[in-house]
Amino acid sequence: MSIRFKTLAELKRLLENKDISSYELVNETFKNISSSKTNSFITLDEEVALNKARDFDEGKVDGDLAGIPIAQKDLFCTKNLRTTCGSKILENFIPPYDATVVDNLSAAGSICVGKTNMDEFAMGSSNETSYYGTVRNPWDLERVPGGSSGGSAAAVSEGLVCAATGTDTGGSIRQPAALCGITGIKPTYGRASRWGMIAFASSLDQAGAFARNAEDCALLLNHICSHDSKDSTSISDERENYLDNINNDLKGKKIGIIKEFDISSLNREVQDSFEQSKRIFEALGASFVEVSMPNIRLSVPTYYVVAPAECSSNLSRFDGVKYGYRAKDVDNLEELYVKSRSEGFGDEVKRRILIGTYVLSAGFYDAYYKKAQQSRRMIKNDFVDAFNEVDIIMSPSSPSSAFKIGSKTEDPIEMYLEDLFTISSNLAGVPAMSIPHGFCNGLPIGLQLIGNYLEESKILNFAHQYQKNSDWHFKTPDLGESS
Amino acid sequence: MSWETVIGLEVHAQLSTNTKLFSSASTKFGSEPNTQVDLVDLGLPGVLPVVNKDAFKKAIRFGLAIEADINQESTFDRKNYFYPDLPKGYQITQMTKPIVEGGSIDIDVDGDKKTINITRAHLEEDAGKSIHDAYPDKSVIDLNRAGTPLLEIVSEPEISSAKEAVSYMKALHQLVTFLDVCDGDMSQGSLRCDANVSIRKVGDAELGTRTEIKNINSFRFIEKAINFEIKRQIKVLESGEKVTQETRLYDSGRDETRPMRSKEFANDYRYFPDPDLLPVVISDDEMEEIRSTFPELPADKSRRYISEFQIDESEAEIISSSRELSNFFEVAVESKNDPKLAANLIVGEIGSLLNKDNIKIDESKLSSDNFNILLQRISDGTISKKIAKTILAEIWETGRNADEIINDQGLVQIQDESLLEEVITKVIESNTKQVEDYKNGKDKLFGFFVGQVMKETQGKANPKAVNDLLKKALNS
């Protein structure tokens, strides 16, 4: 039986009915991974995964996700399993502890098959900054899968696993979900614990999930999200069951369209898909309202001050002293630092450390970092105002479909604009997701649904109703003869 | 030309919490290197700090004691710099909104009283230790101290001499130990200070260029380091040169300050709010709890001792000035002993023994229980106060039980009148000349006879009985 492209819910049913064993499932997964050409994984954990599958088959494990193989983005620390964060500097780093998200998902019985490829330290929108090679988009191997969680997105898109974790600092779940034609969700900031997530920009980083549809994402969030006393920014409100409201009626609901996002400048196909999606929601009884968010134009510049500032400090711990890459043949401490970091970090990471160091420097702090904090508050307030009028906000997930590998690497600004539509929800801390809703140049594109603070249930409800009335999420890439 | 000195002190008090400021690792001093370190202290990828509220309670207690403003909402910032014993590459500290602002400390220099205002006191984490001399060809790091909570207490530049600085430091030491905020052990670095010193012409409004002397860890060194620095700066200025603003280290071996290598301190720390920590909010209830468990401070103690126990003012002051001594005294009084007697022995005999050995009472072999026994034996007439001193000396050496010493050495006081009369008769008979003089009006000789009786009884005679019986015998 082919397990490729099966949803999480379908696999659960197959296991429950004993139509397939977990061992077969995991074994098949590794077979598929070995023949894959996308370079989605950095490290595999075959022996441990197969043992866990046997345990499940022997009835020793239960839980909501029991026996299901999943993949973890290589930014989550996994005890005794190498965690590189896509960087040379952590090439040999084996964490002595599990991230809370990893812990939660194993407590639910899921089986981690390996760690997925990603942009180095989650800095990138194409997966080209990974030290472990570019990930390829399963829809076209010459194109990028998006980033930074490109490995997770590609692995789910290609049907290697039915679910994977991701992290989203400025769009790192939603943009690759869109470019790979799958569903991805970033919950409210603080809803999932950051304990054990290697930090890029602490005030923006948030864990989330990739799956084939919104319903599977809801099930995953039921385990990924939790209150964690080890993370001071973790939200203490009790977590909802995200499946509870997924079938709510959309009649009378209002969807906001952001006036300041100029969709008419985008590719014709992107515009058409957007219009078609609007019609689906209208048919479900929802109506559209234009909301003005005047400060949203500040999102990209604000983000590229705040995120590098935090990253420049967060990445100081990688100094060659305690763990990670240490340069050889150094004569003194200064040289140890300079060489270890120069050799251990890639260009994009260095670029952001430099920007961050600059904007925090005495004399520049007020002009950059402080200003950015002010504009961030203004953007947040725009969301507060908008959600006074509408239930959710809708936009394209990314300006276009997947681009050719290498086509944007020489132009960082062009690359940064990939996150034009996604960044603002990170700055505001609100939940957002991307669902497949059409094609542009034969490649999938995504629709972004943004919810109010702690209203991930609502966007999951909209997404699920949309998917009950469309078939974009059933589309799968043609993998040719290789698989 | 006459110069005046302006000094501001930054004192780091290590808070006596059980665990670190942002992790659950122990803060115990002197353990094997790198054994009191958890994932957070190591600065592993993915770890996050969680605030230890106990450190806040102690900081607030200090703030209340100096009548400062308490920021019930305070924030943490990152101070970024690279150093091998700073695992995260930044120190978490309170730059913009410290827990304590304002307040003051009263000092006393040879009877002159002065008030030193406090700018702020903020919480921050300590760094680890780099060890350069353990191996010939490498430096190693001990992270046991990394993450230990510190309260940095910053004074206004209102201190005008090395002596005042020492007095300020002593007042601070007394306060933090009484408040149970810090153990005050300067030799272990629990309390250490950085001194900002500058010189200006008397009458100048502007401050001179200052230097900062780092990490001075004894009262004596504070005085010496500052005095050296004052002399050095005066010499520089009088030779027509300028003082360079710099950080200096005090070398106690050579009794001089020296500039630190410039690489040892970075210039731009790129402070910014720590995004891993939300503002820490102390509720009104928590404030109330801290107020209600506020310990009694020396001045209040002293006043209470005088009014409640009628002990001498000077004794009350000495006992209440030390947390250990006052605890010791209070235990004795609580056990229904005579407060005056207890105070007398603590200040007198025990005080000189403590001075001799330069230790604190809880480091001595004299336990509260044993002291209680001793006091009871004096009160019930078993031994005299004089014998008690002999017994104390023995306890000081051996820590033996007072009753045991009394029994073994036959120190029980002689109360038996017939026995004492026999001795008195003997003394009178062998000192006929003195008896005659006494009877002719030389009253002062009475003490001589008491001494003789005591000598005969090896000090064991009950002094009151000797007095009474001697008077009777001599006046007959």
Q: How confident is the model at residue B262 (pLDDT cuts 50, 70, 90)?
A: low
Domain co-membership, B238 together with B306: no
State residue A483's pLDDT score.
Answer: 43
Does A309 contact chain B (CB < 8 Å)?
yes
> Considering the entire predicted model, what is its pTM?
0.89
**Taking CB atoms and an 8 Å limit, are A357 and B272 in contact across chains?**
no
For residue A230, list chain B residues with Cβ-Cβ distance below 8 A. 48, 50
State residue B463's pLDDT score.
Answer: 82
Asked if the structure places residue B109 within a domain, the reply is: yes
Percentage of chain B beyond pLDDT 90 is: 70
Domain co-membership, B171 together with B226: yes
State residue A482's pLDDT score.
Answer: 46
**Taking CB atoms and an 8 Å limit, are B270 and A317 in contact across chains?**
no
Mean pLDDT rounded to a whole number for chain A: 96
pLDDT digits (tens, 9 = 90+) for A45-84: 999 999 999 999 999 999 999 999 999 999 999 999 999 9
Domain co-membership, B155 together with B198: yes
Please give the average per-residue pLDDT across B347-374, as a whole number: 92
State residue B475's pLDDT score.
Answer: 80
CATH of the domain at B444: 1.10.10.410
Domain final residue pick, B255, B285, B315: B285
Three-state SS sequence of A284-320: CCCEEEEECCHHHHHHHHHHHHHHHHHHHHHHHHCCC
**Taking CB atoms and an 8 Å limit, are B278 and A233 in contact across chains?**
yes
State residue A208's pLDDT score.
Answer: 98
Does domain A8-253+389-482 match CATH 3.90.1300.10?
yes
Domain co-membership, B63 together with B185: yes
Domain range annotation of chain A: 8-253+389-482
The number of distinct structural domains making up chain B is 3
Question: Residue A169 is which amino acid?
Answer: T
**Taking CB atoms and an 8 Å limit, are A230 and B50 in contact across chains?**
yes
Domain co-membership, B425 together with B378: no
Choose the mutation target among A83, A120, A189, A314 for the interface with B, i.e. most B CBs under 10 Å. Answer: A314
**Given a cut of 50, is residue B263 above it in pLDDT?**
no
For residue A310, list chain B residues with Cβ-Cβ distance below 8 A. 275
Choose the mutation target among B129, B261, B270 for the interface with A, i.e. most A CBs under 10 Å. Answer: B270
**Given a cut of 80, is residue A98 above it in pLDDT?**
yes
For residue A357, list chain B residues with Cβ-Cβ distance below 8 A. 270
Q: What is the DSSP letter of A349?
A: H
pLDDT digits (tens, 9 = 90+) for A280-310: 999 999 999 999 999 999 999 999 999 999 9
| Cβ(A182)–Cβ(A437) below 8 Å | no
**Taking CB atoms and an 8 Å limit, are B45 and A230 in contact across chains?**
no
**Taking CB atoms and an 8 Å limit, are A360 and B270 in contact across chains?**
yes
Asked if the structure places residue B439 within a domain, the reply is: yes
Does B299 contact chain A (CB < 8 Å)?
no
Phi, psi of B50 (to 5 degrees): -130, 130
State residue B190's pLDDT score.
Answer: 95
User: How far is the CA of B81 from the CAs of A340, A409, B21, B63, B88, in angstroms?
Assistant: 16, 31, 19, 29, 9
**Taking CB atoms and an 8 Å limit, are B50 and A197 in contact across chains?**
no
Does B88 contact chain A (CB < 8 Å)?
yes
**Given a cut of 90, is residue B469 above it in pLDDT?**
no
In angstroms, the separation between the Cα of residue A14 and the nearest Cα of chain B is 36
**Taking CB atoms and an 8 Å limit, are A334 and B48 in contact across chains?**
no
For residue A361, list chain B residues with Cβ-Cβ distance below 8 A. 268, 270
Domain final residue pick, B285, B317, B334: B285
Residues 6+ apart with CB under 8 A from A468: none
**Given a cut of 70, is residue B264 above it in pLDDT?**
no
Does B89 contact chain A (CB < 8 Å)?
yes
- Which position has the higher pLDDT, A368 or B441? A368
In angstroms, the separation between the Cα of residue B266 and the nearest Cα of chain A is 12
Percentage of chain A beyond pLDDT 70 is: 99
Domain final residue pick, B408, B434, B463: B408
Does A1 contact chain B (CB < 8 Å)?
no
Q: How confident is the model at residue B473 (pLDDT cuts 50, 70, 90)?
A: confident
**Given a cut of 90, is residue B34 above it in pLDDT?**
yes
Please give the average per-residue pLDDT across B354-359, as a whole number: 91
pLDDT digits (tens, 9 = 90+) for B395-448: 999 999 998 888 888 777 777 788 888 888 888 888 888 888 888 888 888 889
- How far is B321 from A23, CA to CA, in rounded Å? 73
Asked if the structure places residue B24 within a domain, the reply is: yes
Phi, psi of A401 (to 5 degrees): -90, -175
Residues 6+ apart with CB under 8 A from A174: A168, A184, A186, A397, A398, A422, A432, A433, A434, A446, A448
Please give the average per-residue pLDDT across B20-36, as a whole number: 93
- How far is B103 from B120, CA to CA, in rounded Å? 8
Mean pLDDT rounded to a whole number for chain B: 92
Which residue does chain B place closest to A194, by CA atoms?
B46
Asked if the structure places residue B325 within a domain, the reply is: yes
Choose the mutation target among A79, A234, A313, A368 for the interface with B, i.e. most B CBs under 10 Å. Answer: A313
State residue A411's pLDDT score.
Answer: 82
Asked if the structure places residue B290 within a domain, the reply is: no
Does B140 contact chain A (CB < 8 Å)?
no
Does B43 contact chain A (CB < 8 Å)?
yes
Question: B163 is written with which tokens?
Answer: 């002596």
Which residue does chain B place closest to A357, by CA atoms?
B270
Q: How confident is the model at residue A481 (pLDDT cuts 50, 70, 90)?
A: low
- Domain that residue B397 falls in: 296-408
Q: Which of A199, A229, A361 sits opposite B268 (nearest CB)?
A: A361
Question: Residue A362 is which amino acid?
Answer: A
For the ranges A417-431, A456-470, B285-299, B458-472, the maximum mean pLDDT occurs at A456-470
Asked if the structure places residue B19 within a domain, the reply is: yes
What amino acid positions of A are annotated as catalytic residues?
73, 148, 172
Does A230 contact chain B (CB < 8 Å)?
yes
Scan for tokens 């009148």, then name that residue.
B417
Q: How confident is the model at residue A469 (pLDDT cuts 50, 70, 90)?
A: very high
Q: What is the CA radius of gyration of chain A?
A: 21
For residue B87, list chain A residues with Cβ-Cβ distance below 8 A. 317, 321-322
Q: Which of A194, A201, A232 sits opposite B51 (nearest CB)?
A: A232
State residue A1's pLDDT score.
Answer: 73
Domain co-membership, B271 together with B311: no
Asked if the structure places residue B49 within a domain, the reply is: yes
Domain co-membership, B445 together with B353: no
In angstroms, the separation between the Cα of residue A377 and the nearest Cα of chain B is 15
Please give the average per-residue pLDDT across A141-157, as a whole number: 97
- Which position has the higher pLDDT, B139 or A96? A96
Phi, psi of A394 (to 5 degrees): -125, 140
For residue B90, list chain A residues with Cβ-Cβ distance below 8 A. 313, 316
Q: Which of B46, B49, B90 sits opposite A77 (nearest CB)?
A: B46
Does A354 contact chain B (CB < 8 Å)?
no
**Taking CB atoms and an 8 Å limit, are A232 and B44 in contact across chains?**
no
- How far is B469 from B397, CA to CA, in rounded Å? 36
- Which position has the higher pLDDT, A368 or B453? A368
- How far is B475 from A435, CA to CA, in rounded Å? 118
For residue A90, list chain B residues with Cβ-Cβ distance below 8 A. 45
Does B294 contact chain A (CB < 8 Å)?
no
- How far is A210 from A149, CA to CA, in rounded Å? 9
Asked if the structure places residue B424 within a domain, the reply is: yes
Choose the mutation target among B96, B272, B274, B280 for the interface with A, i.e. most A CBs under 10 Å. Answer: B272
Please give the average per-residue pLDDT across A305-331, as a whole number: 96
**Given a cut of 70, is residue A187 above it in pLDDT?**
yes
State residue A156's pLDDT score.
Answer: 98
Percentage of chain A beyond pLDDT 90 is: 94
State residue A412's pLDDT score.
Answer: 81
Which residue does chain B place closest to A200, by CA atoms?
B46
